[in-house]
Amino acid sequence: MIVVTGAAGFIASALVARLNAANFNEIVVVDNFTNERKLLNLSGKHLTEYVDREQFFTWLDEHHAEVEFIFHLGARTDTTETNRDLLNILNLEYSKQMWQACCRYQLPLVYASSAATYGSGTLGYSDDDVLLSLLRPLNPYGESKNDFDNWAVQQPEKPFFWAGLKFFNVYGPNEYHKDRMASVILHAFRQIQETGSMTLFRSHNPDFADGEQQRDFVYVKDVVDVCMFLMQTRRASGIYNLGTGEARTFLDLTLSTFAALDRTADIHFRDTPEDIRDTYQYFTQADMSKLRGIGYERPFTRLEDGINDYVRNYLVPGAYY
């Protein structure tokens, strides 16, 4: 069996779909299953068992001999969350329990970290371990992820294979439930459908023109392909960036969304909300040399191609992956 935590969420449910496509059907999904909108992400998938996240470690004590691999993708992912106690419980302490259980039962582990750990990017975007303790995230969410990364690499006892994935700006199907935290592509699609136009955040940084803020946007289908690669190869444990290695602007993203909808671009700007203005990242670009160095050779989807697939094959028909 393969365990996927956070399974009703965006990336994890896409991973379940990818596993099913590769004929892995003995999948145990772990989450808080009270959000009915998220449960639609798992509809129609081949699953063995639903386990509430509060009961998972008891379940694992009883079933560990049947488990082959654990993907720990569950977390509190709201970058505006200010409740540090909640983030500490869900993103740090729960992950420590997961790590210790994988050590105890000799289970391989892939877990979700985040590019939010890089903060303003003043130290660059290298996933070299020597930089981990120097990173200064800009929000409590990023801090919780960085705290676990630092804790993990310092542990004398580790799972026989483990990988932490620093997800950059992931977009794609199965994020309908994410509301404010959904990708800009989903927001653009909805705004364009409703109003015929799209409003982006104005730049408050003199080094960037409006709409020229840059992020490393990575398609969720590429993300789950990397997860599959790590499960199948199980070589070179460590923390890895997971982006494309190419920063693109929000204007690029928005123009591609208009093009996928066969609509004429009409773009406006508004001030960045004050609650995120001081912690806003103006540039992110993953250094992908470490993942490439362990043999991952597949090309990453071009932003235009990913948006075209996402919009036409998922957003327009309201489909799930």
Q: Point out the annotated binding site for NADP(+).
A: 10-11, 31-32, 38, 53, 73-77, 145, 170, 178
Distances (CA, A) of 254 to 20, 69, 198, 202: 32, 38, 8, 14
Assign 266 to helix, strand or coil: coil
Binding-site entries for substrate = 169, 180, 187, 201-204, 215, 280
Q: Is 45 a catalytic residue?
A: no
Distance CA 232, CA 226 (A): 10
Given 45, 96, 158, 178, the catalytic residue: 178
Cβ contacts of 195 within 8 Å, gap of 6 or more: none
Catalytic site includes residue 221: no
Strand partners, 287: none
Q: Which residues on adjacent β-strands are paired with residue 29?
A: 4, 50
Rg (Cα) of the chain, in Å, rounded?
19
Catalytic residue among 118, 141, 171, 314: 141
CB 251 within 8 A of CB 181: no
3-state secondary structure of 27: strand
Q: How many Cα atoms occupy the beta-carbon half-sphere of 48 within 13 Å?
A: 15
Binding residues: 10-11, 31-32, 38, 53, 73-77, 145, 169-170, 178, 180, 187, 201-204, 215, 280
Strand partners, 39: none
Amino acid occupying residue 211: G
Could you give the residue numbers annotated as active site?
Answer: 141, 178
